[in-house]
Structure 1
Amino acid sequence: MEGTLPSRAPVIRDDALLRATRRRRLASRLVAHAALILGVIIVAFPIWMTLVGSTHDAATIGRGDVPLLPGVHAAENYAIAWNEGGGRTRTTPASTMLLNSLLMAVLIAVGKIVISILSAYAVVFFRFPGRMAAFWAIFITLMLPVEVRIIPTFQVIVDLNLGNTWAGLVVPLIASATATLLFRQFFLTIPDEFVEAAKMDGAGPLRFLRDVVLPLSLTNIAALFVILFIYGWNQYLWPLLIINDRSMETIVVGLSKMIGRGDSQNDWNTIMATAVLALLPPVLVVALMQRWFVRGLTETEK
């Protein structure tokens, strides 16, 4: 009949399909968020228990009766850990170990970056016999695990009388085939026009490195610094072998020595306080350099 409205059945079907699509999207988001929240809980719960344990007395933790809320002994535990050391044996104070670890991590990160930049710069921008052979010799070291290299490296350090020295602790760890490879790949993306323009301006190799290559590499340097700082901070086996002087002990090695062997009773409150202090510097470095770190990993425009 003329003047009648068209059927609304297709509209109803479209609305039902739209609502079903929205429900599926909402369900998928809920599942994804639930998985993320579960992952955060699994990762964060041990850290939270360490933080809570550092605020209670040794008797409470010794009974296995650690509550989920902080206690009232935080200031006392952290003061003991900072000034006297943790554990029943009262190892090196956490303040000394943190300073040693900080110095070691910074020296390792800076040394790796400097050597890697220079070696990658030489491989990419200079033409000399054996250039690629030198690069592949560096690259092949990636295939050698640390355990294979640590015995001959230790023997070299002993023969040079570098035990219990900062040179013996840092120098064997500052060469990095991975960083060299990453900088080489980045330097290959620098346009040849930059090189030609620098030559026309009379810039030598060092000036080209300082005025062109390094400014372009800042984000990559920042990202690598974060990774290499954490690598240096977490070193355990090499400092354990090289350092016998307690005044040079690092925080990771010191934490392992705080835990007694056999049936000895541990002061878990000061041990946990020291563990929390050991977490702070890497967390601060990542938090302060997060923007540069992300840009260094994701930025593609050169």
Structure 2
Amino acid sequence: MALRTRWQARLIDHGILACGTVFMVLPLYSLFAATTHGAGERLRPRLDLGSAALDNYQALLTTSAGFSGDITVVSMVWNSFLLGAGFAGLKVALSLLTAFALIYFRVRFASLIFSLLLLTLMLPLEARFLATYAVVAELDLVNTRTGLILPLAASGLGTLFFRQFLLTVPDALLESARLDGAGPLKFFKDILLPLSLPTAAALFLVLFVNGWNQYLWPVMVTSDENTYTLVRGMQYLGTSSLRGAMLAIFAVLPPALLVILFQRQVVKGLYDGSH
């Protein structure tokens, strides 16, 4: 009886997972199916695949758009990658260094500083865009990749995860490093950094997806066509157009594949970092 109950519970669990998977994947599949039909047909969600998929995507990859002809899929993918990687890399580096300073140095009002960092989690990112844009404009960083990435580099969430992880590091490691004559930077480089790599990798992946999908900030800070990201390109071409729909497919696939391939590492790294 117990075996039968366990089998039924497992069947119900897998049924729920299957329904959730279909619920999440079906919209993306219906959008892809719509892009496989001829350009003359009305773009609408559908389940039947057309015969024009190869021609449509080949035309998308080989043609350019815009007044200057700088809007291409390759350039937009590259700009999205730079934004995602720069966004995630700077956030992870600054968060780790901030957590290291708050824990291993005698910083006055460290608890207050950490509380202020946590308060930023309650403030939507979009709420400070206007003030941030004014600073970027004063520094003459509009329409530059530096202006696109640098203002988004701080992260209270990353500091929280690294702080929680560093608190679990045994004090014996610090004492051993001091006995060996290692300074703070050597202790950080040789001991803390290797221990933090799983958490850093997991957080980098999550932040990369967040940076890849940024929309409002790239729209505000870039107007040159050679700096357009994929999300910015969808806004330019129109999400209701065939090319805009195909760009949506390109925009979704890389982050989805990364999460699917490294989901175990993400869960383990974030769990270790929060405990």
- TM-score, normalising length: structure 2: 0.89
Q: How does 1:53-92 map to 2 (within 5 A)?
A: 53-62=34-43, 68-84=47-63, 92=71
**Aligned pair 1:50/2:23, yes or no?**
no
Shift of 1:52: 1.5
Match of 1:217 among 185, 192, 196: 196
Q: CA 1:67/1:230 → structure 2, altered by over 3 Å: closer, same or farther?
A: closer
Q: CA 1:54/1:174 → structure 2, altered by over 3 Å: closer, same or farther?
A: same
Shift of 1:76: 1.5
- How far apart are the structure 2 equivalents of 1:274 and 1:52? 14
Q: CA 1:86/1:277 → structure 2, altered by over 3 Å: closer, same or farther?
A: farther
Which residue in 1 is equivalent to 2:248? 275
**Aligned pair 1:135/2:128, yes or no?**
no
Query: Could you report, residue by residue, the CA deviation over 1:227-286 in whole angstroms, capped at 9, with x for unpaired residues?
Result: 0000100100100100000100110121122127xxxxx542x33322222222213322
Q: Please give the secondary structure, in 1, of the residue aligned with 2:40.
A: helix
Which residue in 1 is equivalent to 2:262? 289
**Aligned pair 1:39/2:20, yes or no?**
yes
Q: CA 1:24/1:277 → structure 2, altered by over 3 Å: closer, same or farther?
A: same
Q: Please give the secondary structure, in 2, of the residue aligned with 1:209.
A: helix
Shift of 1:142: 1.9
Which residue in 1 is equivalent to 2:90? 111
Shift of 1:77: 1.1
Q: CA 1:105/1:176 → structure 2, altered by over 3 Å: closer, same or farther?
A: same
Which residue in 2 is equivalent to 1:243? 222
Q: Please give the secondary structure, in 2, of the residue aligned with 1:118.
A: helix
Q: Which runs of no fewer than 5 residues in structure 2 stay unpaired?
A: none
Which residue in 1 is equivalent to 2:178? 199
Q: CA 1:96/1:172 → structure 2, altered by over 3 Å: closer, same or farther?
A: same
Counterpart amino acid of residue 17 in structure 2? L
- How far apart are the structure 1 equivalents of 2:222 and 2:106? 42
Shift of 1:164: 0.5
Q: Please give the secondary structure, in 1, of the residue aligned with 2:119.
A: helix
Shift of 1:167: 1.5
Shift of 1:132: 2.7
- TM-score, normalising length: structure 1: 0.82
Contact 2:37 2:50 in 1 (8 A): yes
**Aligned pair 1:256/2:235, yes or no?**
yes
Contact 1:56 1:73 in 2 (8 A): yes
Shift of 1:145: 2.1
- How far apart are the structure 2 equivalents of 1:294 and 1:139? 22
Counterpart amino acid of residue 86 in structure 2? L
**Greater mean deviation of Cα atoms: 169-178 or 124-133:** 124-133
Q: Please give the secondary structure, in 2, of the residue aligned with 1:58.
A: coil
- How far apart are the structure 2 equivalents of 1:136 and 1:96? 40
Identity fraction in percent: 39
Counterpart amino acid of residue 265 in structure 2? W
Q: CA 1:57/1:91 → structure 2, altered by over 3 Å: closer, same or farther?
A: farther
Shift of 1:91: 8.5
Q: CA 1:86/1:44 → structure 2, altered by over 3 Å: closer, same or farther?
A: farther
Contact 2:31 2:46 in 1 (8 A): no
Counterpart amino acid of residue 56 in structure 1? H
**Greater mean deviation of Cα atoms: 108-117 or 140-149:** 140-149
Aligned residues, how many? Answer: 272
Shift of 1:143: 2.3
Which residue in 2 is equivalent to 1:171? 150
Aligned-pair RMSD on alpha carbons? 2.4
